Amino acid sequence: MVVLGLYRSGSSCVAGMLHCLGVHMGGVMHETSVDECPTGTFEALSLCKVCWKAYLQPSTERRMSDRVLVGRLSRWIRRHRREAARQGKVAGVKHPLLCAMVPELLATFPNLKIISIDRSVEESVRSLVAMGWWEATADECDRLQRYLWDQKQTGLAGTDHLVMDYKALLAEPKDHIDRIVAYLGIEPSAEQLAATLEFVDPQLKRF
């Protein structure tokens, strides 16, 4: 399954919830500062490298053909699924740039479970600008976020997926945990459910 969300949209929160529920999000994770993401990104570093080869952030210009991207994504996801299967877990992935790769993901995995986390584009842009990543200008951040939003909406059109609102998630985490569990068809333990609920801290500045 895949989490789709713009930069600074709450996707790390959802990915962390999945981790707490027992979903395998990867081995070695991409690390960032505690101030930027205090609970972690839950982005597999090896997947990040695939995404970074496709896009040199904050550019919206893809640097490889669709065919090459499909091949690299499919090989990575198959390895990731095998790794998860050895642990008896469901495989999950998350990276903001995947918002621009929905057709490529579905081309190889048509029954892929997708959770789309939505936050106001304007809020996400302001948060991204505040981070100062890639030494990007405000215009570049705005262009990237709107590109990812448009690509995500176009890619998901007509595709079954679970939509979650960032503010509603923080306000009612238990309801959203229940929705995730039902959508994925998983059976987490009581301890995992409790850990997931504790993970979602509305007072914590994640984004």
Res. 205 pLDDT band, cuts 50 70 90: low
pTM exceeds cut of 0.75: yes
Mean predicted lDDT score pLDDT of the chain: 93
User: Rounded CA gap, 138 and 29, in Å?
Assistant: 28
**Judging by DSSP bridges, how do beta strands 93-94 and 2-4 pair with one another?**
parallel
**pLDDT of 207 over the 60 cut:** no
**pLDDT of 34 over the 60 cut:** no
**Cβ–Cβ contacts within 10 Å for residue 192, how many?**
17
**Judging by DSSP bridges, how do beta strands 114-118 and 162-165 pair with one another?**
parallel
Token pair of 5 as six digits: 């969300």
Q: What is the pLDDT of residue 206?
A: 47
Residue 164 per-residue DSSP state: E
Encode pLDDT of 81-95 as tens digits: 999 999 999 999 999
CATH class of 2-196: alpha beta
Encode pLDDT of 126-179 as tens digits: 999 999 999 999 999 999 999 999 999 999 999 999 999 999 999 999 999 999
Token pair of 64 as six digits: 């490889």
The domain segmentation of the chain, as residue ranges, is 2-196
Token pair of 83 as six digits: 């790794």
Please measure the distance between the N-terminal and C-terminal CA atoms of the chain and give it in whole angstroms: 23
| Local structure of 66: helix, strand or coil | helix
